[in-house]
Amino acid sequence: MRDKERVVEAIEALAAEGISPTVTTVRERAGCSNAAATQFLREWREEQAARQAQESAAAAPPDAVDRIARRGIATLWQEAVRTAREQHDAELSRTRDLLERADGEAGELARAVDTLSAELAEARRLADHLREQLEQAEEARAAADQDRAAAQSARARAEGEVTAAQRALGEVRDELAEARTSMAGVEQARRDAEQALATADRERAAAQSAHDQAQATLGALRDNLDQAREAAAAARDDARAAQAEAREARDEARVAREALETARDQARRDLETAREQTSAEREARAVAEAARVTAEAERATHAVALARVEGELSAVRKNLHEERGAADDREASRPAPESA
């Protein structure tokens, strides 16, 4: 199964369980890298946002609004919907920009963590290699020590032979020549041993320097890893704050829908009352119907446009009340029809 299918299945499973999908939870559930989890989680969020935006699009105005457009109600309705939609689109665009930046930063942090993990593994491999070289150098030094001890032992034996040769110098000149030859070989062996010891000391110093450099590199890598972890924790805190703001926005939208439902019910009751009036109140009834349609259309807009829509609805109710009062006055002043 490809990484994207695995990640999408993990995201949908987390969402079905009521768990908010994050880069960490998706990576653990899907068993993928941080970069793959970040990329496919961002694509899934963009698809969800596009689907929600499509579902929340405002409906077209009904025929009743077109019939009363001559009186200016359609213009008011279209202006309210346009303004609310512009505000909603602007807010949605800002939210998407914030999400894209957060996803981009999370992706960069994920890639940085992967890079640091690879560098840490390489540093560990290098440290193991240096440790092996150090062990080899220690072994070489031990061998050099053994050679030096052997050389010292050989020198002691040679000195004994020289002493014996000096005592027999007057008697056996041939043995003296052999002793001198043996002494020269021992001296050469001593010089070779000293050179081997110096070489071992230089190798040990080089190994110690390489070990110190590896320790410094590991310390720097640990510092970089701590900084990356702190940045990732900050990104997770920002993501939690964004989720909290999204929940608050959903609560505000729910309250707005309830208020609009109440306004719609009130407009319906006003419309029923207006239908019982005389023909002089028909224009007021059309205004109330337009207000009801306006309230239903405004229910799908974002919470940021609610204040303006409610203000316009209040103005319509005020006009309706004034026109109803005027109609009542006209009805009261109209002479009663003569009975047949």
What is the per-residue pLDDT across 290-320, written as a single tens digit (0 to 9) for each? 767 776 777 777 666 667 767 877 887 888 7
pLDDT at 16 over 70: yes
Q: Quick one: pLDDT band at residue 57, thresholds 50, 70, 90?
A: low
CB under 8 Å to 194, separation ≥6 — which residues? 148, 151
Q: Which two tokens stand for residue 16?
A: 């079905």
Nearest CA among 99, 102, 115, 113 for reference residue 50 = 99
Report the pLDDT value the prediction gives residue 44, as an integer from 0 to 100: 92
Spatial distance between the Cα atoms of 305 and 312, rounded to a whole number of angstroms? 11
Residue 171 has pLDDT above 90, yes or no: no
Give the C-alpha separation, 253 to 273, whole Å.
Answer: 30
pLDDT of residue 22: 93
Q: Give the pLDDT of residue 42.
A: 92
Residue 238: partners with Cβ closer than 8 Å, 6 or more residues away: 102
Please report the pLDDT score of residue 340 as a whole number: 44
pTM for the complete prediction? Answer: 0.25
Confidence of residue 148 (pLDDT cuts 50, 70, 90): confident
Please report the DSSP string for 264-288 in residue order. HHHHHHHHHHHHTS-GGGHHHHHHH
Q: How far apart are CA 175 and CA 167, in angstroms?
A: 11
More reliable by pLDDT, 108 or 128 = 128
